[in-house]
Chain A
Amino acid sequence: AQSVAQPEDQVNVAEGNPLTVKCTYSVSGNPYLFWYVQYPNRGLQFLLKYITGDNLVKGSYGFEAEFNKSQTSFHLKKPSALVSDSALYFCAVREGSARQLTFGSGTQLTVLP
């Protein structure tokens, strides 16, 4: 079965600094990887995905993620954090032919003013 791990429950970063939210994965075959963001009392919103192509994927709100096959990682990054980026972030991997997703446990990002 596919799985993803988010090793950090909480990440704190100062506004204006670069941020990284880590994700590692375990899949059989080619990975389909995703990042989602959840603001308080809201549903998840799609940020970006990697299916094939360039290892650096750009997404919404200035976020990007780097796919690293040798390290089986898909870390989420942003060059300059905003207070409004504070939210819960989930990494996910496609599980099966019905496009089910397996989610990591989530990382709470707090951007300090």
Chain B
Amino acid sequence: NAGVTQTPKFRVLKTGQSMTLLCAQDMNHEYMYWYRQDPGMGLRLIHYSVGEGTTAKGEVPDGYNVSRLKKQNFLLGLESAAPSQTSVYFCATCAFTYEQYFGPGTRLTVT
């Protein structure tokens, strides 16, 4: 089993460009999350989903959109990238026993 995978691993964008980050899981978990990690700030929740076709805002949703068309995939979109969105992005799923499983991350730089 691959667990939780993320593509791409690295990306450099210019201000104003758009992109989509893909998260895929083969764990059959209902709950999925997108976090961003910035130095000294831990992980902050961007958006989350409790099942196929549902999404909700987290702590820092501005500038991001998400979609969960299939249970196994959770997409994070940046419509118009800004330098403040330079970060490492992590996707995670949650087991019914409450522990979360994380992908390897996507390192995004916006210039």
Contacts and interface: CB of A to CB of B under 8 A. Distances in A.
A32 B94 CA distance: 14
Interface string B71-111: 00000000000000000001010100011111111000000
Contacts of B99: 34, 46, 49
| SS of A interface (majority) | loop
B101 A46 contact: yes
A90 B102 contact: no
B48 A106 contact: no
Nearest to A104: B42
A98 B57 CA distance: 11
A98 B48 contact: yes
Interface string B6-50: 000000000000000000000000010100000011111100101
A105 B41 contact: yes
A41 B10 CA distance: 11
B58 interface: yes
8 contacts: A34-B98, A36-B102, A42-B105, A43-B92, A99-B31, A99-B100, A101-B33, A105-B41
